[in-house]
Amino acid sequence: MAKDLIRSKGEGETMPDDLSGLRIKIKNRSELNAAEGQNNAKAYAKYLLYIKPTSRSKLFTHRVLLEIHRDMFGEVWSWAGKVRKTEKNLGAVPVKIGSEIDRLLYDLHHWETEKMESFEIAVRLHHRLVEIHPFENGNGRWARLVSNLYLRQKNVPIIEWPSDEKVIKETFKPKYLAALKKADHGDYKDLITLHRNLVR
């Protein structure tokens, strides 16, 4: 299907380089973004509106984490919810992705046992999921939904991530990436502050 796509450079909307696994026909990146956005919105509604999480819910398991990604992108990409098999310039090597997710879930249990504040746990969960980078694409959006789902489960106000593209590019993204980089070295202060400033 990818070979039938028309590449459009209008308004800077060049197509992604790799379209393998695309389930739909699109003409440009704007249409792809719109399709992913609609798919993401359904997943957000499912997990943050329709599901009523409780402390007993089995939401934070290896299987469910993959299902969440599939629910977010499965209408657009065939690889949604499947651990990537290719090397990236960031993230765990493919053969270690499964064990890294399991290690994170172990750490999550440890953080809860040690009575770490739920908000900080959500921030750490977000960071580690981005750091592992299990999927071909959509890792950041997936990590943000999962962290909000954790907050929702703990009855803590969720994060309202910016949606305006200009704000994201010029203001939010540089701060976000800098905070993630500090968290890579164990300093979560800026990332926690960034999250707190976005509480709904």
pLDDT at 14: 54
List, for residues 55-83, the tens digit of each pLDDT value: 667 889 999 999 999 999 999 999 999 99
Give mean pLDDT, residues 26-48: 94
Query: DSSP label at 14?
Result: P
pLDDT at 56: 62
What's this model's pTM, rounded to 2 decimal places? 0.89
Is the per-residue pLDDT at 167 higher than 90? no
In order of start, what are the domains of the chain with their CATH numbers?
A: 34-196 (1.10.3290.10)
